Amino acid sequence: MWMGRVTRMEVAAVVVVLFLIAAAGCLEQDTITPAVSPTPASTLMPLPWTHPPMPSMFFTLLEIQKDLAPDITLMLPTYLPDGFFFNYATEARASRDWPMNEGEFMFTYSRGQDEWLTLSEQSRNSTSCDDRPEYRAVVAGTALAAIGGTGELWWGSDGICYNLSGTLPREELEKIAISVHPVPYRDGVLPPFEYQPPAHPLIRNSSVNRSSTEKNVTITVESLDCTAEACKAVIRLGVASPPSFSVPPGMTAPPVYPDPHAEWRVDGGRPLLKTRDSLGYRPEGETTLIFWNLEPLPDNSRELVVNFTSVKGMSGPWVITIPLKDRSDADQPAASHQEGSS
């Protein structure tokens, strides 16, 4: 009996070993795909940080200067064509995971809606460039061409590589490049071309209801709401914003963005700047409501003129004059509109 039990145990062990060998052979020949059980969530390991940090965004040059280390000085243009102001900047800093990335600054200046200029500067420890300026005209189909850029200028100086691009001609880019100099932080002193709102802004909420018709399309400025931070115009475009693609039954497609392009001027001065979150819209039947935010206006403003050059791919112009001198309707509530998506 004892010998019989040993034999049966040995036989069983041999069977198990043979089964394991056979299973291993099948796995090696990849003839059987083993079932993989899902990995428990508790065993997931976080991936190490291998990307540079998200760039910081700033909307005033003073804000950037105060955030910098004491040994870093901004290099800024001290000449720009009339009407350009600082708009925003991004700063990509170095990190322990990206020791070669010593930071990159990008400063964007604007004049009105469609004119812009961007200066990028980066340490030569992380990139290389020639001291002699090199101009490159924009190439059709590139990202720079898609946003209206005309060309870009590259050069290096004092351990920094620069790139200057925008909607300006080559001659203006070269003049701006020559003007780039260190601008140290000084308490109470504004950096060059830092935008400042008017000391006494126009504050009123009024109905406008003035229109212009061109090519059987009517554009109406319905109301204007001005505060110390911005002026918001509510505009009705006499064209619907239909879906741009077919959607399954029961689903609603987002409307096509009206893509309005316009120049706003108060009392014939420079083109007004857009503010953050400057454009929104909402379709209303066969029309589209546009919500447009502009910089605040001075309290002594007399007339605001808007020239729509294009909407939804259609060329204008549609010119609408909005009188600001008459205060008889000041502080009256304008038509109520819920803002659309931007």
Instruction: Give residue 21's pLDDT.
Output: 45
For 164-205, what is each residue's pLDDT tens digit?
Answer: 999 999 999 999 999 999 999 998 899 999 999 999 999 999
- If you average pLDDT over residues 81-98, what whole number do you get? 78
Instruction: Give residue 7's pLDDT.
Output: 42
Compute the Cα dihedral for 62, 68, 70, 76 and give only its sign: negative
Closest C-alpha to 217, from 310, 297, 134, 143: 310
Residue 338: CB atoms within 10 A of its CB come to 7
For 73-86, what is each residue's pLDDT tens digit?
Answer: 899 999 999 999 99
Contact 133, 155 (CB under 8 A): yes
For 5-41, what is each residue's pLDDT tens digit?
Answer: 344 444 444 444 444 444 444 444 444 444 444 444 4
Determine if the pTM surpasses 0.75.
no
For 266-309, what is each residue's pLDDT tens digit?
Answer: 999 999 998 877 888 888 888 999 999 999 999 999 999 999 99
Domain extent listing, the chain: 56-183, 204-323
Contact 314, 326 (CB under 8 A): no
Instruction: Give residue 32's pLDDT.
Output: 41
Residue by residue, DSSP assigns 189-201 as: -PPTT-----SSB
Instruction: Give residue 340's pLDDT.
Output: 61
Give the architecture-level CATH label for domain 56-183.
2-Layer Sandwich (3.30)
CA distance 230 to 200: 13
CA distance 312 to 148: 17
| C-alpha distances out from residue 23 to 26, 144, 333, Å | 5, 60, 81
For 302-340, what is each residue's pLDDT tens digit?
Answer: 999 999 999 988 898 999 999 997 655 444 444 445 566
Instruction: Give residue 252's pLDDT.
Output: 57
What is the CATH number that goes with domain 204-323? 2.60.40.1640
**Through-space distance between the first and last CA atoms of the chain, rounded to whole angstroms:** 88
Contact 264, 110 (CB under 8 A): no
Contact 100, 125 (CB under 8 A): yes
Domains 56-183 and 204-323 share a fold: no
For 220-269, what is each residue's pLDDT tens digit?
Answer: 999 999 999 999 999 999 987 655 445 566 665 555 578 899 999 999 99
Instruction: Give residue 248's pLDDT.
Output: 62
